[in-house]
């Protein structure tokens, strides 16, 4: 399995994974990733800014995530809690696994790779958030020893559970 930065020619395959994840969330009654987000423009922006990463198996893209280092304005305000660390951090956004590869621990693999990137970036922690009803992602996050920190709100004021892991 290969973990690498995405390139522009990967955008369509990434969007296929994102669209499947959007359908999955909708079918589960979770309004996360609805309202045309993330969209192709978001993914292309991630690629352009070198935030977009993917997992490949036998040359097939099987998982994706945006891993961003530096201040994330969405995380400036946290409610009903506090961040663990005030130092440099990375954020995992838009993590998804291809339908045929769900249940194989690939989100865990992305998390572990993000921890390696954080060490290389001299970051103190990794942060992530998810929808209050996205129980599979909450389990994956907690399995990797992220600690629940409180509630944040996305740009459209959607409530998200926020987590952090010290590296």
Domain count of the fold of the chain: 1
**Per-residue pLDDT tens digits of the chain, which is 167 residues long:** 999 999 999 999 999 999 999 999 999 999 999 988 999 999 999 999 999 999 999 999 999 999 999 999 999 999 999 999 999 999 999 999 999 999 999 999 999 999 999 999 999 999 999 999 999 999 999 999 999 999 999 988 999 999 999 99
By C-alpha distance, which of 144, 143, 109, 116 is closest to 1? 109
pLDDT for the residue numbered 35: 87
Q: Tokens in use for 105?
A: 């621990």
On whether the CB atoms of residues 2 and 56 are closer than 8 A, the answer is yes
Which residues are CB-contacts of 47 (< 8 A; sequence separation ≥ 6)?
6, 7, 8, 10, 11
Q: What is the CATH number of the domain that holds 157?
A: 3.40.630.30
Q: In which domain, by residue range, is 97 found?
A: 2-166
């Amino acid at each position: 399995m290969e973990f690498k930065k995405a390139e522009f020619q990967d955008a369509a395959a990434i969007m296929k994974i994102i669209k499947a994840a959007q359908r999955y969330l909708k079918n589960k009654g979770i309004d996360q990733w609805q309202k045309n987000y993330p969209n192709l423009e978001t993914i292309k922006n991630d690629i352009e800014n070198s935030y977009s990463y993917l997992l490949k198996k036998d040359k097939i893209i099987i998982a994706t995530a945006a891993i961003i280092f530096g201040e994330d304005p969405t995380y400036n305000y946290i409610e009903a809690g506090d961040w663990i660390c005030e130092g440099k951090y990375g954020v995992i956004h838009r993590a998804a696994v291809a339908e045929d590869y769900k249940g194989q621990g690939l989100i865990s693999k992305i998390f572990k790779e993000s921890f390696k990137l954080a060490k290389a970036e001299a970051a103190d922690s990794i942060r992530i958030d998810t929808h209050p009803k996205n129980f599979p992602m909450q389990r994956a996050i907690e399995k990797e020893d992220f600690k629940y920190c409180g509630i944040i709100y996305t740009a459209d004021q959607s409530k998200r559970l926020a987590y952090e892991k010290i590296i």
